[in-house]
Amino acid sequence: MANPAKRVSDNVPGDYFVDSTCIDCDTCRQIAPSTFAEGYGHAFVHRQPQSAADRRTALHALVSCPTGSIGTIGADDPRSVMADFPLPIEGNVFYCGFNSQKSFGGNSWFVQHPQGNWLIDSPKFLPQLVRKFESLGGIARIFLTHRDDVADAAKYAERFGAQRIIHRNEASSQPGAEVILEGNEPQELAPGFVAIPTPGHTLGHCVLLVQDRYLFTGDHLHFDRDGKKLEAYRDYCWHSWPKQTASMRRLLDCRFEWVLPGHGQSVHLPEDEMHRQLAELTERMSA
């Protein structure tokens, strides 16, 4: 739990606060934007939650914070929301929560499927999350978009006997990975699950397209909440911006309605609008 003595000065008065250990990973702003906002190098509480729904969402952000930098001095009990995770997104897709500091607060996702469930990138390895995954049918495959967001994937693989899937150029981050992707061509891993290499952010970065509806994008693509548009992080491109631009252009051959990133805001848009915004983004990146 965060330390009230270390609360940042931007916080508005009230029960909820962010302290100075915040690493500005954006997790809380993605989950509860009505409560948390962006300061200079940290998040802060810009509006205290009032309704029961807003307070519960603020607690979701609190328990998902990778550094434990969010606290409350009120009666709200963080333990009361632990069983809410993974949070449903749509249909058989869930947000795991419990973001890991090992991946700088990266998001991870869970897809329930009759032929075996999928974990995309990794949350913290926690007993309560393990129990929920067990109740949902376990984990058969763990798709790792790139080296930055593997977090506790090895522990989940060992616990569930799951296959970890990662590109050859990222495999040094998971030396025991069971499935190694090669080259730069899309590969169908199972019916409706297509791995698409997207080098740029890192050399072996990949995204996962599920059922031509959900695109799990790692650090390749996200939604800009303020600009209301698809965006890519040029400042956090560790390998090659021209390659990331070319990889983005290749996604124009795909159709999807959801962008579910490792870092950044997720978004659901009509297919045509998603394609239009993706085309505009590739033009901006090229320029």
Give the residue numbers spanning the domain of 18: 4-71
Number of C-beta neighbours around residue 83 at 10 A: 9
Residues 171, 202 contacting (CB under 8 angstroms)? no
Instruction: Please report, for residues 235, 260, 266, the alpha-carbon distance to residue 225 in angstroms, rounded to integers and kept in the order given.
Output: 17, 13, 9
Across the range 236-240, mean pLDDT stands at 97
> Do 207 and 66 share a structural domain?
no
The whole-chain average pLDDT of the chain stands at 97
Kindly state the percentage of the chain with pLDDT values over 70. Answer: 100
Q: What is the pLDDT of residue 1?
A: 75
Q: Return all residues near 71 (Cβ < 8 A) that are at least 6 apart.
A: 1, 2, 3, 4, 7, 16, 17, 18, 19, 62
Q: Is residue 22 included in any domain, yes or no?
A: yes
| pTM beyond 0.95, yes or no | yes
Number of residues in the chain: 287
Give me the pLDDT at residue 185, please: 97
Q: Are residues 37 and 169 in the same domain?
A: no
Question: For 212-241, what is the mean pLDDT?
Answer: 97
Beta strands in 168-272 (DSSP E): 179-181, 187-190, 193-197, 206-210, 214-218, 222-224, 229-231, 258-261, 267-268
Q: Is the domain of 64 the same as that of 90?
A: no
CA distances from 23 to 26, 39, 100, 104, 105 (A): 9, 11, 12, 8, 9
What number is the average pLDDT over the span 64-91? 97
Domain membership of residue 141 (yes or no) is yes
| 61 and 113 together in one domain | no
- Residue that finishes a domain, picked among 71, 98, 114: 71
194 plus 66 within the same structural domain = no
Please determine, for residue 242, whether its predicted confidence score (pLDDT) is greater than 80.
Answer: yes
* Residue 60 and residue 181 in one domain: no
